[in-house]
Structure formats: C-alpha cells, structure tokens
Structure 1
Amino acid sequence: MAAAISIRNVSRRFGETWALRPVDLEIAAGEFIALVGPSGCGKTTLLRIVADLQAPSTGEVRIGADTAAEARRKRLLGLVSQRPAVLPWKRAIDDVRFTQKIAGRVGFDPAKVLGEFGLAGHENKRARQLSGGMLQRVNIASAMAHDPSVLLMDEPFSALDEMKREEIGEWFDRELSLRPKTVLFVTHHIDEAVMLADRLLVFSPAPGRVLEVVSVPVPRPRDPSFRQDPRFVAITGHVRNLLMHRVPEGRAA
C-alpha cells in the first residue's frame, strides 16, 4: 500500500548559505511527484531529507504516520540512484535478493519481478553482461523487491541515451499501474517529468525554492502519443518558461 508524504516547512542551510528554502507539500498516496530545476537547486537535498539521509534545518517530513527516520527503519522506502547500484560479482537475481535480505522482508518473488521487468532469461547474468537499460531495470527491481510504500528516485535514467530513456520511462509508468507507489523523482529532463508525473515542483537556482507546482491533468500510464498532445506541449513550454524567466528572490512566483 502506497503511503502519503507530508513535507512541512522543510529547509536546509549550511552556515549562512541556503541549500533549500522552506518547502511545504502534501503528496497523496500513489502520487508521482517530479522535482525539476537546474543543478544545485536543492532537488536532491529535498529527496535526501525525505529518505532520512540528511537532516532538515527546519521542518519535518511525515510518511504516512511515521517520521522519515521511522519510515527508513521500517523499510518503507526504496531508493534508486543515478547509477545502477548493482554488485558486479552478483547475478541480477542475487542483487534483488540482497535488498530483500537487508530489508528483512520479501515483498515480491525475485524471479517473477525480474520477468515482469523484461529480464526473463537474464536473471543469472552479472553486471558486465547486461546493457545500461537492463542494469537500471535491475536497480529498480532491487529497490521495489521488498515492496516499499515510497520510491525515491534521483535522476534514475540520466545515464541512458535519449531513446532508451524514453523506453525505460514508458515501461516504468506501466509498471507503476501494476505496483502503485508514491514516487518522488528528481530530474533535469522536463519532457520526462511531464510524461511521468502527476505534479512537478519547479525549483529556482540556488538557493533553491519552489517557483510553482505544475499539474499534469492526464491519467497515468500515458501513451507515447501524449508527447504530441497540445497539453504536453503547453505544460513543457510553461515549465521551460518558468526556468528561463525566473522570478527574482523575494517576489511572488
């Protein structure tokens, strides 16, 4: 069961330097939220605070009824990084089992989930025998193997070429319709965010603050043809305009 996330007045500063201005956001269970903005704007900082990998300077995060620390201890979170966090000496299926062992919980049958992720026949291959797209599928399978309520994803498709990135994104969108999760997804890629997310948090450059929360009023999973839809064009154009014509500090967005 997916869990809701509540982000209340969460900020982060290092000495006198703000890495992230205060953020308030309520995320519904099963909702997909993309964090979009330039490098150094606080996207990954916010993700790490939700993951309980970094403490906020102000505010708190709740995942369901739990604090971020409690959710981490209960293994309610799955984390997917930019680079596949696979162990080169292990087979794909062993990577998935390793996550389950660490979590102390078997959510999905490893062979079954790898098969559903398009890796049937590749379960016993090691990292060097798999393509970049396959490795990222193993990475996501490992993060989902213990059936966490929340997936936290930090630019998970950035190492892939454009065509593979779109293919994996469309595949992931379909998978979420079968295994619903609450997703927080960091990306620099505006088209990707609009294709996948229910809402986008558009960040200013450092010190990061939310310029606008942009909704994508089209049900998921979305057909690839949505990229030619006038709504897709309008939303991506609006987000680009926000990022290119930024509101000066202290003025309303």
Structure 2
Amino acid sequence: MRGVTRRFGQMVALEKVDLEIAAGEFIALVGPSGCGKTTLLRMVADLATPSAGEILVGGASPRQARQARQLGLVSQRPAVLPWKSALADVTFTKQIARRPGYPSAGLLQDFGLAGHEYKRPGELSGGMLQRVNIASAISHDPDVLLMDEPFSALDEMRREEIGDWLGEELRKRPKTVLFVTHHIDEAVVLADRLVVFSRSPGRVLDIVEIGSPRPRTQSFRSDPRFVRAAAHVRGLLSGATSKRHAEG
C-alpha cells in the first residue's frame, strides 16, 4: 500500500496509508470506529478503489488477485446461502474457486460444528453461522485471507478457541492475513504486527511488532510482551479518543 487515500465526497476516510506486508505475515488493523480499517480491507479485496495511491497484492492489482482466486474474505455478517447446508456452502466456495483446499467436513469439525453439517442457516445460531462463514472463506486455501471482525458474533470462550485454532492452522498452511478487529487482546495474541490508526481521517499512528513467534495460545496473555504491547496500543487509542472528545 503506497499513499493510499480514500474519500467519500468531501469526507476523507483514509489518508496516505503506507504499509508493506510480507508473504505469510499476520497483520491486525486496530483503531477507533470510523477510522477506515474496513475501507482499507475492502480496497485490498477489490470491493472499493483508492481515491489516490496504489495497492498491490503480490505485484498484481487487487482485481487480478481476486480473479486468480488468491483472496479469501470473511465479512462481519455471515455471507452464507440460505438454501444450502453448512457442508454444501463450504464446498460451494471450493467449486467456484476450482481449488481443492481443505476437506469440507473436517474443516467444519475443527470449527466445532460436528453434527451440524447438514443444517441450513435458519437452523443455526448467529455464532454457528459466522463459523460457517469463516470456513467457507478459507475452504479453497487462499493465499491471502482478509478478515473483517470475524469473531464478533462469537462468545468469548468460543472466540478464544477459534483464535487458537486459526493460529495453529496458519502454522500448518501459512497465509498472508489482514485482520480487522476492535479487540486489542485478540490482535496481540494472533498477529505479528498491529497497525494502529488514528480517528477519522484514518492515518497510521504506529506499527507495533509483537516479537514472539506464532502460533500463540491464550496463555500468552500473561507474557510481558503481551502486557507491554496491549498497554501501548490502548494508550495510543485512548489518546486518539480523548482528542476527539476534546474537539467535540
């Protein structure tokens, strides 16, 4: 990402974002609501275009990467098909992508959905639906995984379990991950680096490197590196929020 700016009419959502992500790296985007995190992810996914600047995915444009089936997208709201079972929905993604990917039934089992494979969306809870959504996005084993608040519909315990699973899966099959979250602790446990954004218009305040190899389990929360990183990010965001309130 080089000088990426995004405007909506007169409003500037993102301003001059520069970021280089290595292959296989896990990057978390954190910042106040409305700072442009999801907008940036959507531009990488070829769902929006920069008003200025350039985004390249492995040397190609986001559109070329999407057409080559290199991208997997997990949205905040489950993008499942109401007439398909969980198993059929996950398999359908692989059929579209024409990539063998993961075994569909095994993936659902790993997500705690054993016994629910043949249920349709109307028969699943909100948390179960989001797990199907995540499974569908990664079923074709994309090179780049784009995740927009993927665990927001899950309770804390299930959120931590799936976070641990994702970390272990990325160890077995490394991917480049761009992960949007408001959950600072989750970002510190999962990511290699956290990109911290200012309030709107979104600018990069800091890039925080965790400095501990992945995967990490929830026990990492007691590690001094976790404590320092989480406190630093909270301090940055607290400053951004305080400034916004003062100006308001």
| Correspondence for 2:144 among 150, 153, 163 | 150
CA distance in 2, matches of 1:124, 1:54: 34
Shift, 1:66, TM fit: 1.2
Contact 1:199 1:215 in 2 (8 A): yes
Q: Partner residue of 2:128?
A: 134
Matched residues, number: 243
Contact 2:195 2:208 in 1 (8 A): yes
Shift, 1:24, TM fit: 0.9
Contact 2:14 2:200 in 1 (8 A): yes
Unaligned runs of 5+ in 2: none
Higher mean alpha-carbon deviation, 217-226 vs 99-108, is at 99-108
Shift, 1:202, TM fit: 0.3
| Correspondence for 1:172 among 166, 169, 172 | 166
Q: Does 1:187 align with 2:181?
A: yes
Contact 2:27 2:192 in 1 (8 A): yes
Contact 1:42 1:207 in 2 (8 A): yes
CA distance in 2, matches of 1:233, 1:109: 37
TM-score by length of 2: 0.91
Q: Partner residue of 2:76?
A: 82
Unaligned runs of 5+ in 1: 1-6
Q: Partner residue of 2:38?
A: 44
Q: Which amino acid aligns with 1:245?
A: G
- Which stretches of structure 1, 4 residues or longer, exceed 4 Å deviation after superposition? none
CA distance in 2, matches of 1:113, 1:166: 17
Alignment of 1:166-245 (within 5 A): 166-245=160-239
Q: Partner residue of 2:65?
A: 71
Shift, 1:131, TM fit: 4.1
TM-score by length of 1: 0.90
Q: Partner residue of 1:54?
A: 48
Greater share of strand residues, 1 or 2? 1
Contact 2:17 2:203 in 1 (8 A): yes
Shift, 1:230, TM fit: 1.6
Q: Partner residue of 1:100?
A: 94
Q: Which amino acid aligns with 1:205?
A: R
Q: Deviations over 1:66-100 (max 9, x none)?
A: 11110011111000011222223211110012212
Shift, 1:53, TM fit: 0.5
CA distance in 2, matches of 1:9, 1:68: 16
Q: Which amino acid aligns with 2:201?
A: P
Higher mean alpha-carbon deviation, 151-160 vs 168-177, is at 168-177
